[in-house]
Structure 1
Amino acid sequence: MYNKFAKVISIAILLFTIPSTTLGLDKNGLFKNLIKYSYPEVKVIEKDEQNTDKSDQSNKEDTTTNNNKATNNQFVNVYVGEDNIPVAKTTNSNGITLDSSVYNSKLRVTNNKPQILIYHSHSCETYSDSPKGNYHSEDKDHSVMSVGCLLTNQLSNLGWGVVHSTTFHDSPTYNNSYARSAETIKSVMNQYNDVNITIDLHRDGLNIANQATKNNIHNKYTTTINGEKVAKFFFVVGARNDDVEKVQKLADGLTEYAKKKYPDLIMPVVLKPYGRFNQSISDNAILVEVGSNGTTTAEAQASAKYIAQVIDGYFKEQNIKNN
């Protein structure tokens, strides 16, 4: 079946390179008829049917009989139109995608002696352009994972060895997310003995009741640096942590350093009285919130280079240097 469809596409591409005035035919119509003739098991949907097909999908699933479902499952939907020309997937991760082969067993390691682990206790936290599941879904490209991927790149460019974990700790269940991420931390630190900085990267979550609220949240959590709109960030401390004083000192130190470099980008440290957040496992445990569910993925990703500079500069001042 694949070879047959490939031949159809090849013929279609050839025909599309011939001016429509030469053939006296509409290209979309020609492509549609070609598919129908050569590949009858494909269901061709006209451009003006596309929205109807999508909007009625849930209703159809409720009312369609089992026989009709079996019939519909025989088809592959093909939309014909200029706006449906396939495009290559782009990435803002310097050529690294979250599903690429460099993530071996859900881990990416940038050198043989990494010192930093980046992970996500709430891996499903997404930004404003991915609202599914109340901004919680496995949409990696619009989640905190994509920001972690970029932060990994930026820190690596500054000479740090980094491990980035793309394990989902809050899916399929949100409960015990921190217990599962603790296992990831311990596993990585057992394998890579030089890791002494752990970064749990989140995004803040607020109740978005309407568009006005969303706009207010967006304005609160963004700023402009060098003409670019970027998401603000801040550090969180768990007060029930056994090493709370050490964790608080680290968060305060990073915040003060960030204020000197990018005063409009950093927000105050947040102390959570009920939290531990695995901040006793490593010597330098960081929980950072990058933007919120009111900021876009691109704005959060744009912060990665500045967060990397803050982490790099602060730890070098503390005489904790990269390899």
Structure 2
Amino acid sequence: MYNKFAKAISIAILLFIIPNNSLAFDTNGLFKNLIKYSYPEVKVIQKDEVDKSTNKDNETTSNSDKTTSNQFVNVYVGKENIPTAKSEDSEGITLESSVYSSNMRVTNNKPQILIYHSHSCETYSDSPEGNYHSEDKDHSVMSVGCLLTNQLSNLGWGVVHSTTYHDSPTYNNSYSRSSETIKSVMNQYSDVNITIDLHRDGLNIADEATKNNIHKKYTTTVNGEKVAKFFFVVGARNDDVTKVQNLANGLTKYAKEKYPDLIMPVVVKPYGRFNQSICDNALLVEVGSNGTTTAEAQASAKYLAEILDGYFKEQNIKYN
């Protein structure tokens, strides 16, 4: 990381000193390019680039799938929405309750699974106002993580769920901050050998028709219940990319056999690492999108837990 910043600063200095009268110096463009160069998993978008009449989470494009295969997330420079609503999940545990001490919940004294959120502020379509990025916990990926923690615990796993904000007040370096959370938890709980970075996908929502199409693409019906689809993401710049991809492919195949319409294909991000070299079994999972509702994403938690439980037991990775 230090070398990346050093190179970026060197480039900036060269741009200042090159004697070229025809060079139109754009500090705003330079700022964005430096961030992209030093932290390619993030794309910066200025506030005035966003259509103020709609909520958007990714750049406008005629082929959103192609765009999101190259960039993981867009960053908005501007005011964030911070609602304060609170609600209970189906187990009666709130994200603000006493079981979450110092932004962390531990379900037993020898946990094997860590659930965390590099982008804790990712919210769903029913989050009030905002651009699908706020500290509205009840409509965020954190609420899905809370339910997934409950479900895995009910299946016998010890789980650590971190509710630390890694992308607030700024998105920049969110993966660097979440890596510190992973290392801290693993140092404290040596039995942790599965890490799950839980996100939701973000797509451009230009109008109501687009939103409806995205909702249709990212939802299905399981046992008569409308649920959000999910998929696993692999960072291609990972030192252990083969191992990470094998794990994502294995889980996807296992899920496909159980719930064919619930799982979407693995997505490989060419510019990503996503902290997937820190733990032996590192997952990044996208549950639903900004076009799906919180309830639909939360409804997926029990199926995701069932898939994780069955697959890891099949691979002889069992709880104590």
TM-score tier by shorter-chain length is 0.7 to 0.9
Tell me what 2:275 maps to.
278
What does 1:50-129 align with in structure 2 at a 5 Å threshold? 90-129=87-126
Change (3 A) 1:214 1:119: same
1:124-163 map, 5 Å: 124-130=121-127, 132-163=129-160
Greater per-residue helix proportion: 1
| Residue 232 of structure 1: aligned partner | 229
Query: In the alignment, which of 172, 175, 195 is matched to residue 175 of structure 1?
Result: 172
Which has the greater radius of gyration? 1
Q: What code does the residue aligned with 1:172 have?
A: P
Gaps of 5+ in 2: 1-84
Contact 1:111 1:161 in 2 (8 A): yes
Distance 1:208 1:132 in 2: 14
Name the counterpart of 1:300. Answer: 297
Q: What is the number of residues matched between the two proteins? A: 236
Query: Does the 8 A contact of 2:86 with 2:137 survive in 1?
Result: no
**Percent of aligned positions with the same letter in both sequences?**
87
1:188-213 superposed Cα distances (whole Å, 9 cap, x missing partner)? 00000000000000000000000000
1:71 aligned partner:
none
Structure 1: segments with no counterpart, 5+ residues: 1-87
In the TM superposition, what is the alpha-carbon distance from 1:134 to its structure 2 partner? 1.0
Q: Is the 8 A contact 2:87 2:94 kept in 1?
A: no
> Does the alignment pair 1:223 with 2:220?
yes
Cα displacement string for residues 18-65 of structure 1 (whole angstroms, at most 9, x for unaligned residues): xxxxxxxxxxxxxxxxxxxxxxxxxxxxxxxxxxxxxxxxxxxxxxxx
- After superposition, the CA RMSD in angstroms is 1.1
Alignment of structure 1 residues 38-53 onto 2, 5 Å: none
Residues 197 and 283, structure 1, Cα contact 8 Å, conserved in 2: yes
Could you say what secondary structure the match of 2:130 adopts? helix
Matches of 1:120 and 1:89 in 2, distance apart?
19
Q: Deviations over 1:241-276 (max 9, x none)?
A: 000000000000000000010000000000000000
Question: What is the distance in 2 between the residues matched to 1:140 and 1:206?
Answer: 20
Q: Distance in 2 between matches of 1:132 and 1:304?
A: 25
Task: Note if contact 1:93-1:149 (Cα within 8 Å) is conserved in structure 2.
Answer: no
AA partner of residue 271 (structure 2): Y
Give the letter aligned to residue 218 of structure 1. Answer: H
Is 1:203 matched with 2:200? yes
Bigger RCO (CA 8 Å, 6+ sep)? 2
Q: Distance in 1 between matches of 2:222 and 2:249?
A: 22
SS at match of 2:134: coil
The whole-number CA distance in structure 1 between the counterparts of 2:195 and 2:86 is: 31
C-alpha contact (below 8 Å) 1:239/1:273 kept by paired residues: yes
